[in-house]
Amino acid sequence: MSDVPFQPIALRLTRSVVINGLLAALLLCGLVGWWERHTALDRLEAALRVQGEELAHALPEAVWQVSPDLVQPQLEAASKRVGVAYLAVLEPGGSRPIAEVGQQQLRGLSADIDLPLLREGREIGRLAMMLDRAAIQRSVYEAMLKSMLASLALIVVMVGLVLLLLRRHLQQPMQALAAALRRLEAEDLGAHLDLHRPPRRTRDEIDEVAAALSGLQQRVLRHVDELDARVAERTEQLQRALEQLKILAVTDPLTGCHNRLAFSQKFPEAVAHAQRYERPLAVVFFDVDRFKVINDTHGHPIGDRVLADAGQLLRETLRSSSDWVARYGGEEFVLVLPEASLQQAVDAAERLRQMVEQDIRVPLDGGGSLQITASFGVAQWQRGETGEQLLERADAQLYAAKHAGRNRVMPAVAVIA
């Protein structure tokens, strides 16, 4: 579309007016010529007949009463009338001219006007008149030329007026409309469209286009606002979903504690913090006693309920926001206690052991409830110790508690040299 050259509507309409005006002028000139050709001969013949009758009445007096020499001057005077090609006074019977003026090559041809010259009721001769058809043709051409000039003058005036009106009422508003559209950017959708048109009592198509464009702007703005609101809502929903995914990615779905992935990410950070600032760090391994027997005897749903209740108890009894618990695997949990000494960790594990024994009661399908116990292995990080070594010591204490009879807390007191 951009390869098509631009042409103003006003120019196109003006050119159309000029072409059609010229065709109309030519048609009008043709009609005028046709009409003039058919009427000029009749008008001229009628006028010359009147003159011929007057001349026919006067000639007998001049010829027979005054002097025959006056005939020639009267014919010459009469021949000066426009439209007379040949004028002659003929003998009775019209055989030989007594006097003649004009184009003598027309002598002998049939006269256009043939009038008798009468004296006392007797014909004494005839008056023959031939019309100047070339003069008639010239009059036709003159009439056509006048009509053409008048039409051209009218066309020039009309084209000037049409061009002025088109420029004022069509071209300038449309150019302003196009310029406003070219300047329109996404951030300017609400800009008012001003075509700089004077106030009028009526509306036209350009007003309708401008109003439709303004309506489109408003609809687009509303749609953009709706889209912004939807995008904001979807973004918020997506953000919440991402946060939930992040939580789900590091959360054990059964117990609500951190999963093994979260533990592998957070525990090295806790050990690094303790090493860098030489701050205390304790680890507690928690394991449900005889969990395999529970699964085999009561089924996995009861075993899942035991783990869920145990995880909830561990999460709810953490000392502060700095403490955290993760499901390490199966029925094993790991409590990470930053800023906790060995004795504080042992005391916390003992409280948990008692709460597990006293508070966790899992209802059974056949009636009654299942009471569980747990064993704990506690170790505190020591200078020069890695995270893996700390976990191994705590895990060893857990197995020591199992071998010592279960339902107990075993702290690691050995110091790495």
Q: What are phi and psi of 164, to 5 degrees?
A: -65, -45
Q: Is 316 a catalytic residue?
A: no
pLDDT at residue 311, rounded to an integer:
95
> Do 133 and 193 have their domain in common?
no
- Residue scoring higher pLDDT (238 or 199): 238
pLDDT at residue 40, rounded to an integer:
65
pLDDT at residue 196, rounded to an integer:
65
Report the chain's terminal Cα–Cα distance, integer Å: 87
Concatenated DSSP letters of 369-395: EEE--EEEEEEE--TT--HHHHHHHHH
The residue from 45, 53, 208, 331 that is catalytic is: 331
> Do 165 and 189 have their domain in common?
no
Report residue 242 CA to chain centroid gap: 36
> Do 282 and 234 have their domain in common?
no
> Do 358 and 297 have their domain in common?
yes
Q: Is residue 416 part of a domain?
A: no
- Residue scoring higher pLDDT (109 or 275): 275
pLDDT at residue 187, rounded to an integer:
62
> Do 199 and 277 have their domain in common?
no
Mean pLDDT over the full length of the chain: 81
> Do 210 and 63 have their domain in common?
no
pLDDT at residue 310, rounded to an integer:
95
pLDDT digits (tens, 9 = 90+) for 136-195: 677 767 767 777 777 777 777 777 777 777 777 777 777 777 777 777 666 666 666 666
Q: Which of 200, 222, 249 is the last residue of a domain?
A: 249
Least confident of 48-62, 104-118, 244-258: 48-62
Residue 49: C-alpha distances to residues 110, 119, 128, 367 (Å): 15, 19, 10, 147
Q: Give residue 199's domain range.
A: 185-249
> Do 230 and 178 have their domain in common?
no
pLDDT digits (tens, 9 = 90+) for 208-238: 777 777 777 778 778 878 888 899 899 899 8
Rounded Cα distance, 369 and 207, in Å: 84
Rounded Cα distance, 40 and 35, in Å: 8
> Do 407 and 274 have their domain in common?
yes
pLDDT digits (tens, 9 = 90+) for 9-43: 666 677 777 787 778 777 777 776 677 666 766 76
State the total domains in the chain: 3
> Do 124 and 245 have their domain in common?
no
> Do 112 and 242 have their domain in common?
no
- This prediction has a pTM of 0.51
pLDDT-derived band at 64 (thresholds 50, 70, 90) equals: low
pLDDT-derived band at 409 (thresholds 50, 70, 90) equals: very high
> Do 49 and 133 have their domain in common?
yes
